[in-house]
Structure 1
């Protein structure tokens, strides 16, 4: 699982999130899940990077992201919610591949010559970028250098 610091509700949420590659599963999970605030808080709990990085990935301001965290009745736009679900799914996969969040985040933040000397986290601002990095994680699982 992602981390030992999650409560049972958060563990159930992360367990129910489909893989990034399951496009229809992600779609239906996103539209059927009404726990917007819980998704934001789960993202904040799992990811050890600061609010500026997370807001950049979500294409919102840090202030908006902080407001999402503070407002328990937040209603997320569909694209922001989908992005959060995909990031959670990517993290779930990344921790499975690397064994823990710290090692996964280290890989995410280090420049990678096989990615045109970009750090993998720089691709996470778009849905296609998340899918690309998820594909790289799958390649790592099968022994490819990424």
Structure 2
């Protein structure tokens, strides 16, 4: 298993485009090598179970676990989803300050989201954008 350094993680988070910047997301996915280190970084960013993250990526839990331990070629849509999830986490940490507070919000059913948890929307690009927009609304003082 490849060991990813803190320096590599800092570069990933510094370079990753915002969720709503589709042009840069597209070019990022096509110009960077989205590989095992991105999966490992997403796994380290999240305190959530593999079953949840694999659902977001539209893959089986077993496949997700293989991606964490083996260097495999990822499909373009999986790469894009990984980049968007890391970007969403970056935004969420900026808004909530701690991973625990962000993940509490992310996993708690919300009456303003039809009693769904924000994490229930993260398995599609449009759902990711919707939740990212909710984070922006929170930044500007809306109850979300």
**Category of TM-score, reference length = shorter chain:** over 0.9
2:34 and 2:79 in contact (8 A); partners too: no
Give TM-score scaled by structure 1 length: 0.93
Q: Which residue of 2 aligns with 1:3?
A: none
> Where does the alignment leave 5 or more consecutive residues of structure 2 unmatched?
none
Q: Which residue of 2 aligns with 1:108?
A: 106
CA RMSD of aligned residues (A): 0.9
* Secondary structure of residue in 2 paired with 1:28: helix
* Secondary structure of residue in 2 paired with 1:29: helix
Give runs of aligned pairs for residues 1-146 of structure 1, distance below 5 A: 7-72=6-71, 74-146=72-144
Q: Encode CA deviations 1:52-96: one digit per residue, 9 max, x unaligned.
A: 000011110000001101112x11100000000000000000000
Q: Encode CA deviations 1:25-53: one digit per residue, 9 max, x unaligned.
A: 11100111114111111111101101000
* Secondary structure of residue in 2 paired with 1:75: coil
Q: Name the count of aligned residue pairs.
A: 140
> Where does the alignment leave 5 or more consecutive residues of structure 1 unmatched?
1-5
Q: Which runs of 4+ in 1 moved over 2 A?
A: none
CA distance in 2, matches of 1:106, 1:60: 24
